[in-house]
């Protein structure tokens, strides 16, 4: 089945460090990928929609200069948390949907394993 | 108003019990509906899609009522391994929301022996 690989799975670093998270679709192409953040005991919140070859679309309240998104190919999107601080500590998850399923209903998205980010 | 509303629970049930989760969504243009399961500190995994006619997958039955914008999940003969958070997910999949999923906050289930 469709697989999305997310790396790294766990990051612990000092405040002020920039952290890059990769999301790859391994056996399908995805012009659009989604980045979510989940705080403890809360639901997944969409941060931004990553579009291949164009600028990402950010949700209200998400700083685009803080969370840099690059989607340079049909199989890779990256999220960089710049100058991370303790309040950025969270579980970050990407998802992607097979390009071939667009336009069809009830086509699920495929999630990466998530990245647990802890900023000290 | 949130796009998807769920009772967060928790639901604590014994093995073998039947348990039902409910969910409502606010946008009548919603087209696709799913139940995902999320284990602690893990990514969500698709449990099942939900179709208008209702659908069943083993011990799991999902129902959709478009008129009342209501989705349900029924788990029969609960197993210990069913303990998880169940996420109600809706996809409007139109225009600017193409591909975007809207998540409920999840309903926590614990099955005890």
Q: What is the pLDDT of residues B38-75, one digit of tens each?
A: 998 888 999 999 988 889 999 999 999 999 999 999 99
* pLDDT score at A19: 96
The larger pLDDT score, comparing residue A2 to residue B29, is at B29
Q: What does the pLDDT read at residue B100? A: 79
Who among B31, B43, B101 is closest to A114 (CB)? B43
Count A/B contacts: CB-CB distance under 8 Å.
Answer: 51
| Beta-carbon separation of B45 and A46 below 8 A | no
pLDDT of residue B113: 95
d(CA B90, CA B32): 6
Q: Going by C-beta distance under 8 Å and a sequence separation of 6 or more, which residues neighbour residue B3? A: B25, B26, B27, B90, B102
N-terminal to C-terminal alpha carbon distance within chain B: 38
- How does pLDDT run across A90-108, given as a tens digit for each residue? 999 999 987 777 666 667 7
Contact criterion met (CB < 8 Å) for B105 and A42 = yes
| DSSP strand pairing (B84-91 vs B45-49) | unpaired
Average the pLDDT over each of A42-46, B11-15, B19-23 and give the range with the smallest value: A42-46
A86 phi/psi in degrees, rounded to 5: -50, -35
What count of other Cβ atoms lies within 10 Å of the Cβ of residue B66? 12
Segment B95-100 mean pLDDT: 66
**Cis upstream peptide for A69 (omega within 30°):** no
Cβ proximity of A3 and A96 under 8 Å: no
Q: What is the DSSP letter of B24?
A: E
From A45, A106, A113, residue closest to B43, measured CB to CB: A113
- The residue among A22, A28, A117 whose CA lies nearest residue A68 is A22
Q: Is the pLDDT of residue B6 over 90?
A: yes
Of B32, B46, B100, the CB nearest to A46: B100
Please enumerate in sequence order all residues whose Cβ is within 8 A of that of B95, keeping only pairs 6 or more positions apart, or say none.
Answer: none
Q: Are the beta carbons of A32 and B49 separated by less than 8 Å?
A: no
> With contact defined as beta carbons under 8 Å apart, do B69 and B25 qualify?
yes
Contact A93 B34 (CB under 8 A): no
pLDDT band per the 50, 70, 90 thresholds, residue A13? very high
CA distances for A63 relative to A18, A19, B65, B69, angstroms: 15, 15, 37, 33
Q: Give, in degrees to the nearest 5, the angle at Cα B60 between B54 and B64.
A: 25
Sheet holding A4-7, edge to edge: A4-7, A19-25, A76-81, A67-73
* B98: number of Cβ within 10 Å: 14
């Amino acid at each position: 089945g469709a697989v999305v690989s997310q790396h790294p799975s766990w990051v612990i670093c000092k405040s002020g460090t920039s952290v890059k998270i990769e999301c790859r679709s391994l056996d399908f192409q995805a012009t659009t990928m989604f980045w979510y953040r989940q705080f403890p005991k809360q639901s997944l919140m969409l941060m931004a929609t990553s579009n291949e070859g164009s600028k990402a679309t950010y949700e209200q309240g998400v700083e685009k200069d803080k969370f840099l998104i690059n989607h340079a190919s049909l199989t890779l999107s990256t999220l960089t948390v710049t100058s991370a601080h303790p309040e950025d500590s969270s579980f970050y998850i990407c998802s992607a949907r097979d390009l071939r399923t667009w336009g069809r209903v009830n086509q699920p998205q495929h999630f990466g394993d998530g990245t647990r980010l802890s900023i000290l | 108003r949130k796009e998807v509303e769920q009772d967060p629970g928790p639901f604590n049930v014994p093995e073998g019990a039947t348990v039902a989760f409910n969910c409502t969504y606010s946008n009548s243009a919603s087209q696709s509906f799913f139940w995902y399961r999320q284990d602690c500190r893990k990514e969500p995994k698709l449990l099942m899609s939900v179709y208008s006619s209702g659908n069943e997958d083993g011990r799991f039955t999902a129902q959709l009522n478009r008129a009342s914008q209501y989705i349900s999940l029924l788990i029969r003969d609960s197993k210990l391994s069913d303990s998880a958070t169940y996420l109600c997910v809706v996809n409007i999949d139109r225009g600017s929301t193409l591909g975007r999923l809207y998540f409920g906050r999840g309903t926590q289930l614990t099955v005890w022996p």
